[in-house]
Structure 1
Amino acid sequence: MTIKAYVYDAYGTLFDVHSVSEKAESEFKGYGKTISEQWRKKQVEYFMLHQLTGNYKPFSEVTKNALLYTLKNLSLQSNEDTLHSLMQSYLELEVYEEVRATLETLQNQNKTQIIFSNGNYEMLNPLVEKRDLNHLLKVLSVDDVKQYKPAPAAYQYALETLGVEPYEVLFMSSNFWDITGASSFGFKTAWINRAGFEIDELGIKPDYIYKDLRGLLE
């Protein structure tokens, strides 16, 4: 079967969400790594809860609320300047080292390549432009349909936008919850297992497992 579209999750797959730890460390010495880890954990928890309760809020709002909780949970005092600085770091996430070269190589195969993310355009577009990937990837957000991945309706929107069959999509994510959703929907999947985790016990096996995007070049 021919793959016609490469679809990439953004956060953790193309962009290192924990690169915010540097800015967090500059604002709260000794807490950078902890803030980064707790912020991301709460961010995922919040959008999952919004999806489950049918109370959609844009990813930028979810991200800010997760940050507010994290700082409060760590008993760290902040002001608007601090919050703005940390939120700005999400628009400047580092791209993983192999991403650009891999995308450029795959572009020569005449395949459609898109980011499909829970992030909203206000967060994604500045990030893609900052890292000079806008000539390689189109950006698609669940914000268009107000349905967060891993809800089936989110993947359905991506499929309709691409205009292909589910088995013609290779969906890539470092987040196993995203792989679970995409695999269950019918996409071919590649788990970009950057952290070297074990497969979750969910009865789902991705079609491919790679430690980074270079595995796609096989």
Structure 2
Amino acid sequence: MPITTCVFDAYGTLFDVNAAAAEAAKDPAYPGLAAVWPALASDWRRKQLEYTWLRAVADRHCDFWQVTQDGLDWALEAQGLEDPALRARLLALYRHLPTYPEVPAMLASLKARGLATAILSNGSPDMLGAAVASAGIAKQLDAVLSVESVGIFKPHARVYDLVGTHFGCAADQVLFVSANGWDAAGAAGYGFRTIWVNRAGAPLDRLYAQPHHTLPDLAPVPELV
């Protein structure tokens, strides 16, 4: 069936999750961050994702803002930067992450082609609302769907169910796009057509399904559809 609905992961896919640490590192108030911000950003993201998986397996759900804070606390301690002011600054920046440069034009192109567009994210509704508003992309999205409505993180099938429930479409009418290889694989196993946005050139995850396409960024998505 033809694709009718294009759905995007948010953090790391539309929004640059490294931008908070990069921006804070420019501030002379935090001199210890300048040399280590790439490692801190990497640890923060890794722990944030690990905590979602562990909470899902243990059936101990909390919202994504909590795991975002928990991941940051681990990353700050790992770098010897247990500074309350820096922590507050990083969290404030995370709520207003910029999109990658190609995102606005890519979404506009999809809308011009008559496709429905949406976010499907682990993010909590208030986090996603703040990010979408700050980035100015609300008018280019038909829906912002959060796992909080089902109480478990991706890649659980109940999360991917949200798309069909909201749009009334079949799984094979959905193109799902994620910068997380495991998320693209999980969505492919669910039945979506999928794109993995592999900005870092990482190896393919060895999982039960594989993404249908791999791209270096989001710019080619409209032509691929």
Fold shared per TM-score above 0.5? yes
In structure 1, give the amino acid aligned to 2:67.
Answer: V
1:35 equivalent in structure 2? 40
Paired with 1:148 and 1:158, the residues of 2 have a C-alpha distance of 15
> What's the offset of the Cα at 1:24?
4.0
2:19 equivalent in structure 1? 19
Over 3 Å counting, the alpha-carbon distance change for 1:209 and 1:29 in structure 2 is closer
In structure 2, give the amino acid aligned to 1:153.
Answer: R
1:135 equivalent in structure 2? 139
Counting only pairs closer than 5 Å after superposition, residues 87-166 of structure 1 correspond to structure 2 as 87-137=91-141, 138-166=143-171
**TM-score relative to the length of structure 2:** 0.92
Query: RMSD of aligned C-alpha atoms?
Result: 1.3
Q: Note if contact 1:23-1:32 (Cα within 8 Å) is conserved in structure 2.
A: no
Q: Note if contact 1:20-1:93 (Cα within 8 Å) is conserved in structure 2.
A: yes
Q: Note if contact 1:173-1:191 (Cα within 8 Å) is conserved in structure 2.
A: yes
Gaps of 5+ in 2: none
2:7 equivalent in structure 1? 7
Q: Note if contact 1:24-1:36 (Cα within 8 Å) is conserved in structure 2.
A: no
Paired with 1:199 and 1:37, the residues of 2 have a C-alpha distance of 19
1:175 equivalent in structure 2? 180
Counting only pairs closer than 5 Å after superposition, residues 70-81 of structure 1 correspond to structure 2 as 70-79=75-84, 81=85
Q: Note if contact 2:182-2:207 (Cα within 8 Å) is conserved in structure 1.
A: no
Gaps of 5+ in 1: none
Q: Kindly provide the CA deviation profile for residues 185-206 of structure 1, in whole angstroms up to 9, marking residues without a partner as x.
A: 1111111111122222225232
Q: Kindly provide the CA deviation profile for residues 137-185 of structure 1, in whole angstroms up to 9, marking residues without a partner as x.
A: 1211001111110011111122212211000000000101101110111
1:200 equivalent in structure 2? 205
How many residues are paired up?
Answer: 217
